[in-house]
Amino acid sequence: MTPPPPTHPRLVDVAKRAGVSIRTVSNVVNDFPYISTTTRERVEQAIAELGYRPNLIARNLARGRTGLVALVVPQVAMPYFASLADSMLEATRDEEMVLVISQSRGSHQVELEALEGRFGQRIDGVVLSPTTLTDADIAHRRSTIPLVMLGDRTWGGVVTSVGIDHVSAATEAVRHLIAQGRHRIAIVGPYLNEEAKRFRGWAAALREAGIEPDPTWVIGTDGSTGEDGFAAGERLMQMSPRPDAAFFVTDWLALGAVRAFQRGGLTVPDDVAVVGYDDIPYGRASNPTLTTIRPDRAEIAHQAVASLVAQRDGDSAPVAIQASWSLVVRESSGAPATIEA
Amino acid sequence: MTPPPPTHPRLVDVAKRAGVSIRTVSNVVNDFPYISTTTRERVEQAIAELGYRPNLIARNLARGRTGLVALVVPQVAMPYFASLADSMLEATRDEEMVLVISQSRGSHQVELEALEGRFGQRIDGVVLSPTTLTDADIAHRRSTIPLVMLGDRTWGGVVTSVGIDHVSAATEAVRHLIAQGRHRIAIVGPYLNEEAKRFRGWAAALREAGIEPDPTWVIGTDGSTGEDGFAAGERLMQMSPRPDAAFFVTDWLALGAVRAFQRGGLTVPDDVAVVGYDDIPYGRASNPTLTTIRPDRAEIAHQAVASLVAQRDGDSAPVAIQASWSLVVRESSGAPATIEA
DNA sequence: GTGAAAGCGCTAACAA
DNA sequence: TTGTTAGCGCTTTCAC
């Protein structure tokens, strides 16, 4: 009685069956040029007959790589990062990499370790969506593993970053509100100052329309949670004159504020037009649906992965990559009611 | 000039420095018993000095494992699965496994391949949230890699499943509506029949209160998207007498219907009380906030991982594991307005 | 074009 | 308790 094959077929099994050496089989598997057609066919047939599939662990050991790429985000359950993860999964699959998601939960320590490539497994590259890192953290990093930073910061140019042009996007968002006839346009978010790109876009759009940005229209929040948005919405309602529109730096903030407005008896967009930012899925299902800036996540993910590949293959000059975005107009700023897919 | 260490320190480097054999270092690293304290200390010091970290690729090659576990879901960007992924990431981290997320996008083919453990990398175990698989698919699977099915189905008992008791949960949800004084309680969802557990829970709660389930209250949908919910909401509004409450088999359906109700001039919960299912994050931010059934995702994830570990270690008897759940009462069924975190 | 053989870094028999 | 060593399955340099 023949015992069943104790494990998956290996390179040697294929080689034996095809009557060649493992070197040749390896060549075929890895698509080397210079193999005679007949040999190649023999090998391919043996592979098919045996159902051979390369053991990537062994391959990676030999190659000194893992084939694993890490995506580090604060928390995947947050809609924006869930969507990002989705896009990254697709982008890495196209490159035959395996994506490993890691949650920082806003921990500086975890982000620092990610910078150094310290994960459970050894990793070929890191795509990081930072929350607490500083330029100094990046400058001091010792590891040289391929790294891409997501977001609008450029980190002193010492590392590749992929983001969208937030100044332009914010400008476009506020322009849109102005085009709807709004003149008292608030901006809501954390860390709003002359450094903040979305803030600059907001101010630029107003000035461009001959409106001087009013400091009282700048509504600072602690963070970007729905509760922060709710609280900001309540503050906004008590202002007089009340703003007739508000630009929120994230959708989640905007949704919280809409909730506050509706509880306070205001109608969106009639009383206050609202624009968010990020295009999270819920913006399509909320009532009203939410006008927002949609970063091209697929492009961001592909650019990030492409940079990882380039860095791996020796091209290490850092670049600041800008992906595209679009303004999605929905009910919260006056679009007619629709049902989207 | 000494060239820089070309790579990470290896077992031999540690062994050399500590003046022992690699076997001993390996023992220390793997927490074997039977090592003299002094040796252990010497080795540990060498490890610390060198900053040694085991190469998991090599370890896995030698052990014949990958340390990788796959979570297969339709799409991570969907809130429910994003939350699930979050919990699974935590649960696998606790077990020193690395989670690889794979999106089936509802493809039968992809799900079948997952069943066989066919991923880009070789995988130690699979946790699958199925959409199209049948009992037959499971019965015919050839691979023996550890597998856990998520959800309420039990697959003829041939595989371990982890889910919650949907009959009880649905019963509790509808009981809650009855306790709010509602009597005409619709149920909304796809595939509603005597086999469907949430349907059975709905019917049981009604009968228990002396209400005979009215077939006209059963509102079938094509799927579970927001648009399906919206359409169901519109149908529900046109019924007469109109139901005064509705139980939706997913939150996303419920949110879509709420949108329809509000557009149609109805107030939730005053005109129609609404209960959803799944506790997706949006349910806390919507207006009104959404009453729902919250599966204990952390428990589900831990049970799934625990089963994977048990299967890997030879305990392969399939079991149907039931995790806990709770009813979360929010505004959509009459809870007073609150701001949740 | 193809073969032989030396690693990749670690685990785990087998010895001592 | 600790050392020696044969793999794990594949890549790749060097010959032929």
**What's the angle, vertex CA B118, arms to CA B114 and CA B119, rounded to 5?**
90
- How far out from the chain centre does Cα A39 lie? 45
Angle between the N-to-C axes of helices A22-29 and A37-50, in degrees from 0 to 180, rounded to the nearest 10: 90
3-state secondary structure B156-200: HHCCEEEEECHHHHHHHHHHHHHHCCCCCEEEEECCCCCCCHHHH
Chain B residue with CA closest to A55: the answer is: B122
Q: Distance between CA A176 and CA B172 in Å, rounded?
A: 47
Q: How many angstroms separate the CA of residue A122 from the nearest CA in chain B? A: 7
* Residue B320 pLDDT: 96
Q: Which residues of B touch A102 (CB under 8 A)?
A: 89
Residue nearest to nucleotide D5 (CA to C1'): B23
Q: Which nucleotides of D are covered by protein (CB under 7 A)?
A: 1-5, 7-13
Subunit contact B285:A226, Cβ cutoff 8 A: yes
DSSP string, A129-177: --SS--HHHHHT----S-EEEESS--GGGTSEEEEE-HHHHHHHHHHHH
Residues 6+ apart with CB under 8 A from B15: B21, B22, B24, B25
Q: Distance between CA B34 and CA B41 in Å, rounded?
A: 13
- Who among A66, A89, A93 is closest to B57 (CB)? A66
* Residue A61 pLDDT: 87
Are B96 and B68 in contact by the 8 Å Cβ rule? The answer is no
Subunit contact B89:A76, Cβ cutoff 8 A: yes
| DSSP summary character for residue B244 | S
Chain B residue with CA closest to A100: the answer is: B100
Angle between the N-to-C axes of helices A11-18 and A37-50, in degrees from 0 to 180, rounded to the nearest 10: 120
Q: Where are the alpha helices (DSSP H) in B239-286?
A: 251-263
Token duo for residue B36 = 């003299």
* Residue B121 pLDDT: 81
B26 CA to C12 C1' in angstroms comes to 10
Block means of pLDDT (10 residues each) for chain A, 341 residues, are 56 88 88 82 88 88 89 94 96 90 95 90 93 94 93 92 96 97 96 93 97 96 91 96 97 95 94 96 90 97 95 87 96 75 39
* Residue B313 pLDDT: 83
Strand nucleotide closest to residue B33 (CA to C1'): D1
CA distances, B104 to each of B76, B86, B101, B227 (Å) = 10, 18, 10, 22
**Which tens digit of pLDDT belongs to each residue from B135-189?**
999 999 988 899 999 998 899 999 999 999 999 999 999 999 999 999 999 999 9
Subunit contact A67:B122, Cβ cutoff 8 A: no
B69 CA to D13 C1' in angstroms comes to 35
Closest CA to B120 of B166, B70, B161, B160: B70
Which positions of chain B have pLDDT values less than 70? 1-7, 337-341
What is the sign, positive or negative, of the torsion defined by CA atoms of A311, A314, A320, A323?
A: negative
Q: Which residues of B touch A226 (CB under 8 A)?
A: 284-285
What is the sign, positive or negative, of the torsion defined by CA atoms of A190, A195, A198, A203?
A: positive
Chain B residue with CA closest to A251: the answer is: B285
Token duo for residue A286 = 């909320």
Q: Distance between CA B163 and CA B128 in Å, rounded?
A: 12
Residues 6+ apart with CB under 8 A from B289: B283, B330, B331, B332, B335, B338, B340
User: Which secondary-structure segment (H or E) carries B111?
Assistant: helix B108-115
Strand nucleotide closest to residue B21 (CA to C1'): D3
Q: How many angstroms separate the CA of residue B267 from the nearest CA in chain A? A: 12
Q: Where are the beta strands (DSSP E) in A165-277?
A: 185-189, 218-220, 245-248, 273-275
R_g (Cα) of chain A, nearest Å: 26
Q: Rounded to 10 degrees, what is the CA torsion of B29, B32, B37, B40?
A: -20
* Residue A39 pLDDT: 86
Angle between the N-to-C axes of helices A22-29 and A11-18, in degrees from 0 to 180, rounded to the nearest 10: 110
Token duo for residue B100 = 């690889």
Place of tokens 């029949």: B193
* Residue A56 pLDDT: 87
Provide the residue type at A194 as one letter. Answer: E
CA distances, B217 to each of A15, A103, B77, B220, B250 (Å) = 66, 43, 31, 9, 17
Token duo for residue A223 = 């963070």
Strand nucleotide closest to residue A37 (CA to C1'): C1
* Residue A162 pLDDT: 97
Q: Which residues of A touch B256 (CB under 8 A)?
A: 285
* Residue A204 pLDDT: 98
| DSSP summary character for residue A327 | E
Subunit contact B121:A100, Cβ cutoff 8 A: no
Residue nearest to nucleotide D8 (CA to C1'): B62
DSSP string, B52-96: ----HHHHHHHHT---EEEEEES-TTSHHHHHHHHHHHHHHHHTT
DSSP 3-state percent helix, strand, coil across chain A (nearest 5): 45, 15, 40
Entry pTM? 0.89
Q: Which residues of B touch A107 (CB under 8 A)?
A: none
* Residue A141 pLDDT: 92
Subunit contact A67:B120, Cβ cutoff 8 A: yes
Q: Distance between CA B223 and CA B52 in Å, rounded?
A: 52
Subunit contact B61:A57, Cβ cutoff 8 A: yes
Residue A136: exposed, middle, or buried by beta-carbon count in 10 A (0-12, 13-18, 19+)? exposed
Are A174 and A274 in contact by the 8 Å Cβ rule? The answer is no
* Residue A89 pLDDT: 96
- Best A66, A72, A73, A86 residue to mutate vs chain B (most B CBs within 10 Å): A86
Query: What are φ and ψ of residue A71, in 5° steps?
Result: -115, 120
Token duo for residue A331 = 């009910």
Closest CA to B56 of B18, B100, B97: B97
Q: Distance between CA B185 and CA A241 in Å, rounded?
A: 45
Q: Distance between CA A298 and CA B249 in Å, rounded?
A: 31
Q: Distance between CA A305 and CA A201 in Å, rounded?
A: 29
- Who among B53, B93, B285 is closest to A259 (CB)? B285
Query: What are φ and ψ of residue A268, in 5° steps?
Result: -110, 125
- Nucleic strand C within 7 A of Cβ B7: yes
- Nucleic strand C within 7 A of Cβ B32: no
Q: Distance between CA A148 and CA B103 in Å, rounded?
A: 23
